[in-house]
Amino acid sequence: MKSKTYKYTSKGTQKSFRLKEADIFVFTFLYYKRHLTTRQITQLYSAFEGRDFSEDSVFTKLNRFSKYGAILTKKIDKRDDSITRRATFSLKDRMVDYLQELGRIPAGSSKRRYSSSISLHTLCSREILVRTLLEVSKKTNTNKILCELDIRSYHQKQKKTEIEDAGLLLIPDEHISYKDKNIYIEMDMCKETNATLVEKVGKYIEYAQKNTKNITVVFVMYDKSMFLAEDAEPPYVRMKNLLFSMREYHEHLMNLPNLNMHICSLKEAGDVISDILLGIDDNQNFEQDILLPLSQRTVGDADWRYAFVETVQTFKEKIDGGLRRTYKRDKDAMQDFFFIFGNENDYRMIARVDDVVFSRREGDEGVPLVVIYPKRKKARDILLMDTYDNVLLLSLQNEDVTIEADEQIMARTANNVHPKRRKLVELY
């Protein structure tokens, strides 16, 4: 990590501060995002330094910057119904000048006064960015990429004429650019109608049709993880309804090569968006991670074989392959499965499950369909747009399955929209 320090002197109190690279990084982020809570700033320090910081120690530092340094403005909303019930911090004008002197923000950057009111929607939108940066740092073990991410708002990145010409008929809540990836974030507080969300999908489709650049849209659904509630339950029914309603634009969403749509909850947003930024889902190796270890198992009473095949009699839609389970104690007994590869949050992959299931030929109910999800370090909710019979969801991380060592391979049925209410069964 960089160890360079910067000397900053307050003109009013003539008090000097030694600012670290992490401080300058946080102040730059704060310039573009206006207000942040103590916890959000703590997570930014953790992301940049690659280690955990306590909220108390960071608050003490921020308090010092506010009292003596002409660096930050601290605001504590004491109203009983305040959504923050804690301090939020913003930059003072002198620090904006200092960031310009360092070349961290463009010369002549605006010092526009911001509204003193901070909505929960705005804080949640910022929370998505902060959690994403923290996850990027953890997954790469470096802060290098954090400095390369462009977290300015969509309008800050575009000239007025470019915005009008590009034809995006809405303002994304947040926008992240990195290399060839452009991520548009829609923070849904679960107050708008489903029709309004679908209308936004339509506007992004129009935008993608007028552009050649890669566009990834992530709809993030509010949950109480914003307040660190351990039992923060995402709005699964709302997510399912949006996914199902997006079928109105199904052909466009499946076939526009430069548009990708994802849906996730606030508690998983950092994990999902960081994977997109880092291209982790672009490079999944299902055979190496799951199928090959399955075929090489030495535990349990079954031997597994797999084959890649697209066209089978059972389904009109293409699949990815077949699995066969034979039994060591009874060589004549066997169980066949068809499989497709899935993704928990990607519309195309979620819709493909729906397409394949409903393409099953009438009367051909014998062979179950297994949806195989990527091998991940963190468990992740599997979202579906409907419930299905004779479909099994195989996620190693979600069920804590170790293919090489476990006697049984466990999966979930697809009979419930709520992930925790799906029946846990052996792949049998």
Least confident of 9-18, 266-275, 405-414: 9-18
Q: Which two tokens stand for residue 263?
A: 């849906």
Contact 41, 31 (CB under 8 A): no
CA atoms within 13 A on the CB side of 169: 12
Look at residue 80 and tell me whether its pLDDT is greater than 60. no
CA atoms within 13 A on the CB side of 134: 21
Mean pLDDT (whole number) for 17-46:
96
Neighbours of 64 (CB within 10 A): 14
Mean pLDDT (whole number) for 182-204:
97
For residues 411 and 417, give the distance between their C-alpha atoms in angstroms, rounded to a whole number. 15
- Shortest CA distance to 40 belongs to which of 95, 104, 89, 85? 89
Mean pLDDT (whole number) for 186-212:
96
What pLDDT score was predicted for residue 1? 43
DSSP code of residue 49: H
- Shortest CA distance to 134 belongs to which of 346, 28, 277, 345? 277
Distance of CA 330 to the CA centre of its chain: 45
Contact 322, 339 (CB under 8 A): yes
Which value, to the nearest 10 degrees, does the dihedral of the CA atoms of residues 173, 178, 179, 185 take?
-30
Contact 181, 228 (CB under 8 A): no
Tell me the helix, strand and coil percentages in the chain, rounded to 5. 40, 20, 40
What pLDDT score was predicted for residue 153? 87
Q: What is the mean pLDDT of the chain?
A: 92
Contact 381, 268 (CB under 8 A): yes
What pLDDT score was predicted for residue 87? 85
What pLDDT score was predicted for residue 378? 94
DSSP code of residue 315: B
Contact 172, 186 (CB under 8 A): yes
pLDDT digits (tens, 9 = 90+) for 146-155: 999 999 988 7
The confidence band for 137, taking pLDDT boundaries of 50, 70 and 90, is: very high
Q: Which residue has the higher pLDDT, 85 or 178?
A: 178
Alpha-carbon torsion (49, 55, 129, 108), positive or negative = negative
Mean pLDDT (whole number) for 101-113:
83
